[in-house]
Structure 1
Amino acid sequence: MASNHGVWATMRRIAASDRLSGLIMLGFALLGLVLANLPATAHLFETVAETHVAVPHTNIDLPIGHWAQDGLLTIFFLTVGLDLKQELTTGSLANPKAAAVPMLCAVGGMIMPPVLFTAVIALFSRFGPGEMGSLVLTTTGSSIPFGEMAHGWAVPTATDIAFSLAVLALFAKGLPGSIRAFLMTLATVDDLLAIILIAVFFTSLNAWYWFIGIAACAAVWYLLVRLKRVPWIAVGIVGVLAWVMMFEAGVHPTLAGVLVGLLTPSREMFGEDTPRAERYAGKLQPFSALLALPVFALFATGVHFESLSPMLLLSPLVIALIVALVVGKPLGILATAWISTHVAGLNMARGLRVRDMIPAACACGIGFTVSFLIASLAYANAELSAEARFGVLVGSLVAATLSGILLSHQSRHWKEHHGQH
């Protein structure tokens, strides 16, 4: 029993470390890419990913790869919902005036990447083979209409909060906490906006009565998690039902996690030491960081390319995503920060200037989790979906490397400068 407790404590410690959990997820993402493209493992990997698992007496029948995306990822979105609720109540978003600049930067950081993404695709389509250059050539030689390829405009909009904080943890040891707080606030709002994007643009709504079911599940959850003794079996059943209703309604089912997370109390009740939302998020964190996200990353990047070669880096879609993530994200964030402080007269945290945010803004170009999810939702074409996920992986790695170099330089400079005073 004691050894089990020790294992659980170790897992919680690893999950709580931005650095370790980020590296584990990256490792699984690269493993998925390798397993799907090594001749020795490609067929087995594809067989596992495409094996269907059905829920008896329902029409829910998904391949294992989709269960990782639609099912397991719900745990991650539940922790996002719980964290959002806590941040909105007592955290960085509780004081809108103090959080105004990073909140606006999150919006700016989501507007600029689609603009650059569409511009790059349009540039390639001008030199495409079709009349008026309306077609874009892919690396495999197939011609894709501009409109179809531009359908992925939302892919580079989201920042991966876990990865960007992992980069900060690795390279920003000497920097003030206000930079981490700025990034936390920005990434949290970014998460919320990405959730809205998925709900609005990537749902195909079905019969209206499923929404009554979703509302009923939400109401029951709201009441159950406010009881003095929470009936966990009933709460679990309601959570699963909410997921099923979302699935049947045509809304992405992972959003059920966000919904119930936002309905969980975020202030102390019945003399408890910590708010329930914070406590539940802490208990779920190991499952999210060490199970849901690595398995999702494994299948999300586990796409087979006929030729996994450097030529893929010349794909218009891959180039557009790299430009959008590496250039668009920081450009949108920094431009918004400058306008907010120099034109609108808003204030950043004490001692922070816009230029201090350049390395952290580059870290926001790490798309990963939500970008992979949107890539699989945006493209029905398997080739485009695969190239988009490859583009997200490369763009995120470039953004992480760039921000790592800039953060370590900034950290060194900060130590020297403040060591003299």
Structure 2
Amino acid sequence: MSAPRTTPVRKALDRLSLPERTFVADALRTETVGGVLLLFAAVAALVWANIPALHRSYETAGDFHLGPGALGLNLSVTHWAADGLLAVFFFVAGIELKRELVAGDLRDPKAAALPVVAALCGMAVPALVYTLTNVTGGGSTHGWAVPTATDIAFALAVLAVIGTSLPGALRAFLLTLAVVDDLFAILIIAVFFTARIDFAALGGAFLGLAVFWLLLRLGVRGWYVYVPLAVVIWALMYNSGVHATIAGVAMGLMLRCTTREGERRSPGERIEHLVRPLSAGLAVPLFALFNAGVAVSGGALGDVFRKPETLGVVLGLVVGKTVGIFGGTWLTARFTRASLSEDLAWADVFAVASLAGIGFTVSLLIGELAFTGDAVLTDEVKAAVLCGSLIAALCATVLLKIRNARYRRLVEAEERDEDLDGIPDVYEQDDPAYHLRMAEIYDRKAAEHRRIAAEKAGRSAG
């Protein structure tokens, strides 16, 4: 009688494959630098907007209009930052999503279940927390989507500032969460924050996207073809009434993110490598500069915790995000019978979930869209986003610092390369050639130690 077949236990948040580890490391390196610039831009905006002698110049700079009025594009600088520059950010988000779907963690439904469910719960629970806070407090439920977004760049900037390390699996989990989060944020903007639709302009935008797709399939190359076409598509999408950033993510999703014979990197990865620094280093910081400048007087900060709309944002980011992501991860592991990697503990997942409560760029954007026409409440909601993100950052700092010594050991083990072949040793442990190289290295080290000991003994005898 044959033994019953057992299904191997799948590991949740286990070590990444070597190609995935390399991609995640490269992506997060750029995002970390961009996050630090974003942090500086946010601080600069707050200083600029709160110094009495400079406050008027901040408003004047943000309200300055430029662009062709005949094309409906005579916009303020603040408007250009939100609708124009963030289209670049969402273009990169579209490429990231496409890559995750065809070559990353999301291509495998079983592996994708955990970050997707965690991200969905991490958006649903903050929206629920916001809604309950406002229903019970008599506030407006229009801002339910504000605390649903995670800002990966700002989260990584916090990691860089506090000097903590995260194992590759947790960093990849955070990045995948952000990618899925961006996708659903785009859907929320498209579905819930489109007040009017100009079908002629929308049809033109779709026609432009079809031409963009056809040129890609025909293998046409040259930035001088795609950049002007992208600008036309963006302008048509803007004039259609659908938020213009949708054009960015649509074009990002059209790029091919799988490699063909003879290619080291796919076209999508190459373009992402070129555009990501522009997004992280220029587009997002400039958006923050012209959107994070809100009054932070004692009275204004006190109002954040008294008004249901602003309190709902803070609680959604700090409590809703943490509970949603941690709960979604735990439930997925529980019902798919996946065990957590032996290198990690559930406390680590909770810490990363609290870090995901930093919602900045997209939260500020949705806050503007949700309360259009009410400038006072818009600024108060922006202040709530800043407060909630700061509290989430402080909580994550404490939780991550507690585990930082263990993280450092895990990262050192992941990066150790004693045979100096450019591949971390942990990925070669099942390779016989690796063990032969390591034996030779240890033999040389032992011989060197014996030689030094003999020389010391000779000097002592003399």
TM-score normalised by structure 1 residue count: 0.85
- The reply on whether 1:90 has 2:103 as its aligned counterpart is yes
- The reply on whether 1:403 has 2:396 as its aligned counterpart is yes
Which residue pairs with 1:366 in the alignment? 358
Provide the C-alpha distance between the structure 2 equivalents of 1:198 and 1:300, rounded to a whole number of angstroms.
Answer: 18
Aligned residue identity for 2:134: I
Deviations 1:293-348 (CA, angstroms, capped at 9, x unpaired):
11100111124578765434434233221111011101011122222222453555
Question: After the TM superposition, which residues 226-375 of structure 1 pair with which residues of structure 2 at under 5 Å, given as runs?
Answer: 226-269=217-260, 271-303=262-294, 309-316=300-307, 317-346=309-338, 351-375=343-367
Which residue pairs with 2:154 in the alignment? 163
Provide the C-alpha distance between the structure 2 equivalents of 1:305 and 1:353, rounded to a whole number of angstroms.
Answer: 38
Which residue pairs with 1:208 in the alignment? 199
Q: 1:46 aligns with which of 47, 59, 69?
A: 59
Offset, 1:155: 0.1
Unpaired segments ≥5 residues, structure 2? 1-25, 413-462
Provide closer, same or farther for how the CA distance between residues 118 and 86 of structure 1 changes in structure 2, counting only shifts above 3 A.
same
Check the 8 A contact 2:31/2:280 in 1, yes or no: no
Provide closer, same or farther for how the CA distance between residues 295 and 418 of structure 1 changes in structure 2, counting only shifts above 3 A.
closer
Q: 1:124 aligns with which of 123, 133, 137?
A: 137
Aligned residue identity for 1:366: I
Unpaired segments ≥5 residues, structure 1? 1-12, 126-145
Tell me the SS of whatever aligns to 2:247.
helix
Offset, 1:267: 1.8
Check the 8 A contact 2:98/2:252 in 1, yes or no: yes
Deviations 1:16-49 (CA, angstroms, capped at 9, x unpaired):
4443321220121122122122211111111111
Check the 8 A contact 1:178/1:349 in 2, yes or no: no
Check the 8 A contact 1:366/1:397 in 2, yes or no: yes
Provide the C-alpha distance between the structure 2 equivalents of 1:319 and 1:112, rounded to a whole number of angstroms.
Answer: 15
- The reply on whether 1:24 has 2:24 as its aligned counterpart is no
Stretch deviating more after TM superposition (164-173 or 401-410): 164-173
Which residue pairs with 1:199 in the alignment? 190
Deviations 1:109-166 (CA, angstroms, capped at 9, x unpaired):
11111111122223333xxxxxxxxxxxxxxxxxxxx3xx221010000111222233
Tell me the SS of whatever aligns to 1:27.
helix
Aligned residue identity for 2:282: L
Provide the C-alpha distance between the structure 2 equivalents of 1:14 and 1:184, rounded to a whole number of angstroms.
Answer: 9
Provide closer, same or farther for how the CA distance between residues 231 and 409 of structure 1 changes in structure 2, counting only shifts above 3 A.
same
Provide closer, same or farther for how the CA distance between residues 109 and 60 of structure 1 changes in structure 2, counting only shifts above 3 A.
same
CA RMSD of aligned residues (A): 2.6
Provide closer, same or farther for how the CA distance between residues 328 and 15 of structure 1 changes in structure 2, counting only shifts above 3 A.
closer
- The reply on whether 1:393 has 2:406 as its aligned counterpart is no
Offset, 1:180: 1.4
Offset, 1:100: 0.8
Aligned residue identity for 1:299: F
Aligned residue identity for 2:332: S
Deviations 1:214-252 (CA, angstroms, capped at 9, x unpaired):
221111111223444513222112101111111121110
Offset, 1:353: 4.6
Tell me the SS of whatever aligns to 1:57.
helix
Check the 8 A contact 2:30/2:277 in 1, yes or no: no
Aligned residue identity for 1:328: G
Aligned residue identity for 2:132: A
Tell me the SS of whatever aligns to 1:225.
helix
